[in-house]
Amino acid sequence: MARVAIVTGGTRGIGKAICESLKADGMTVVANYAGNDEKARAFTEETGIPAYKFDVADYDAVQAACAKIAEDVGPIDVLVNNAGITRDGTLLKMSQEDWMDVVNTNLGGCFNLAKACFAHMRDQKWGRIINIGSINGQAGQYGQVNYAAAKSGIHGFTKALAQEGARFGITVNAIAPGYIDTDMVAAVPENVLEKIVAKIPVGRLGHAEEIARGVSFLASEDAGFVTGSTMSINGGQHMY
Which element (helix H / strand E) includes 154? helix 145-165
Please count the residues of the chain.
240
SS3 113: helix
To the query of whether residue 59 is one of the catalytic residues in this protein, the response is no
Q: Which of 33, 142, 147, 179 is an active site residue?
A: 147
Taking the C-alpha atoms of residue 197 and residue 37, their distance in angstroms, rounded to an integer, is 33
How far is 154 from 107, CA to CA, in rounded Å? 6
Residue burial 126-146, b: 16+ Cβ < 10 Å; e: rest: bbbbbbbbbbbbbbeeeebbb
Collapsed DSSP state (helix, strand, coil) of residue 188? coil
| Residue 50, Cβ density class (10 Å: 0-12 exposed, 13-18 middle, ≥19 buried) | middle
**H or E stretch at 71:** helix 59-72
The rounded distance, in Å, linking the Cα atoms of 15 and 9 is 6
CB proximity list for 125: less than 8 A, separation 6 or greater: 168, 169
Active centre residues (catalytic): 147
